[in-house]
Amino acid sequence: MAGPETHGTSLTPSPATGMTSGRLDDTIAAIATPPGSGAIGIVRVAGPRAFEVAAAVFRPAGGRRVRDLPGGRVTFGRVVDPDGEGARAAPAFVDEGVLLTFRAPRSYTGQDAVELQVHGGPAVLRAVLDACLRRGARAAEPGEFTLRAVASGRLDLAQAEAVLAMVEARSDAARRQASVGLSGALSEAIDAAQRELTSAYAAVLASLDYPEEGVPEARVEAPVADARARLERLLATASAGRFAARGARMAIVGRPNAGKSSLLNALLGYPRAIVADAPGTTRDYLEAPLELGRVSVTAVDTAGLRATADAVEAHGVARARELAAAADVVLALVDGTRPLEPEDLDLVAALERERTVWVASKADRPRVWDEAELGVTVRPVSSATGRGLDALRRELEARLEGDAAGEEAWVTSERQADALREAVEALARVPGAPADLQGLDLETALRALARITGRGDVAEDALAEVFARFCVGK
């Protein structure tokens, strides 16, 4: 799939449908594979005239008519440009390839669609796309294929964000998290809360319209309490969701020869950092990708923390402190075989407890100090034997996942988190409030949840924010 581009879309979705009036009647086309050369490239066409466009530019082997092809077929043939030879009678041959056909509503967009798979050279793909554009398609705008999938009900807005996350995934952890969103798990949780709140909202409206009937308080407060608890659990996954979406940074810090580089290599499972007995081997920082549970992590091995007259090493020490201050999680090492030094105690004072995991390194040998002297709880780990390594991994995963551990669906965008906060704050005001104010707060919560999935009441800015970063072929 093509990667996201930095330019935005000029689509102006309407609040009711999410699409500009009349634009769904257009047939759109775009190159759907990344720029550059490859064995195969894809030109995607979708809309009411997709088969008409395909019939003009594709000649199936065996003489079949494109318009007669059913959905779900792969047909070999030749791609031609009917206008390529000017006054000549025969269309210009462009390439051999295959045509994939999709009949509405069983396609990605929910409309008739075709995909032309040809050789993946830039010139070939450009020629195929140009031929489609001259035969009635228009160039698709960024994210327009997925926008049509939302408009047709094939996807909701949360799933559309998961599509973008899948395209942007650079690690298996990010890919797995995006697949959960694409499966609809987050949407199902939001839908369940919406159903509970709709029930409460109906009860409040009934009490306002027919005050003489009376509405039991439980018909409002019980579903509101259930929905609020459900949404608070979702909101608690936002921090881990951000890590899953963008990755987390983990700084490994400690005195020289504390075993930082050895621990990095042990966590990675291969020798990434140079390990030597001489102190000051690592004078700058070194990065390596690492997966911890459902989060992709960039592990950063830093220079040993000590006072030094060496200007280059001193710069590395300063950089190490900056990296530790900015990291999402810090792995702080103290050599278990050497007496504690002032630098160790200074590190304890400098690092935030909630972001730091403390390790007593070289645990295959006797430790010469105890936790009371250091003032923090430490986890014994030996990079040489692997002792304590699995337990350390589990603790790091727990720190990164936090309250999201055990939850299937995570909130992975700030847009989703903002909407959930608004809904939770509105629901907190409902218990004990007059019926008219309860109605207003329930409506606020329902509107906020609708912004997440796109069902109910979709704001223009929510759609624009989601689709602005999409590429033209997706």
List, for residues 191-204, the tens digit of each pLDDT value: 999 989 988 888 88
Statement: residue 275 has pLDDT above 90: no
Lowest-confidence pick of 56-60, 197-201, 268-272: 268-272
Q: Roughly how many angstroms between the first and final C-alpha of the chain, as a whole number? A: 7
pLDDT value of position 464: 56
The pLDDT mean for the chain works out to: 85
pLDDT tens sequence across 215-263:
556 578 889 999 999 999 999 999 888 888 888 999 999 998 899 989 9
Place 139 in a pLDDT band, splitting at 50, 70 and 90. very high
Q: Has residue 12 got a pLDDT over 90?
A: no
Which of 293, 287, 330 has the alpha carbon at shortest distance from 171? 293
- In this predicted structure, the answer to whether residue 212 has a pLDDT above a threshold of 80 is no
Residue 30 has pLDDT above 70, yes or no: yes
Residue 171 has pLDDT above 80, yes or no: no
- pLDDT of 385 over the 90 cut: yes
Q: Is the pLDDT of residue 115 over 90?
A: yes
**Which segments of 260-407 are extended strands (E)?**
286-292, 295-301, 329-335, 356-361, 379-380
More confident residue, 146 or 463: 146
Looking at residue 211, what is its pLDDT? Answer: 65
Select the more confidently predicted residue: 316 or 40: 40
- 349-368 confidence digits (pLDDT tens): 999 999 999 999 999 999 99
Residues of the chain by 3-state class (helix, strand, coil), percent to 5: 45, 15, 40
Per residue in 317-341, pLDDT (tens digit) is: 888 889 999 999 999 999 999 999 9
User: What angle do helix axes 185-209 and 157-168 make, rounded to 10 degrees?
Assistant: 160
Let me know: does 421 contact 232? Beta carbons within 8 Å.
Answer: no
Statement: residue 7 has pLDDT above 50:
no
Q: For the whole prediction, is pTM greater than 0.95?
A: no
The domains found in the chain, sorted by start residue, are: 23-156 (3.30.1360.120), 172-237+409-446 (1.20.120.430), 252-291+299-325+333-404 (3.40.50.300)
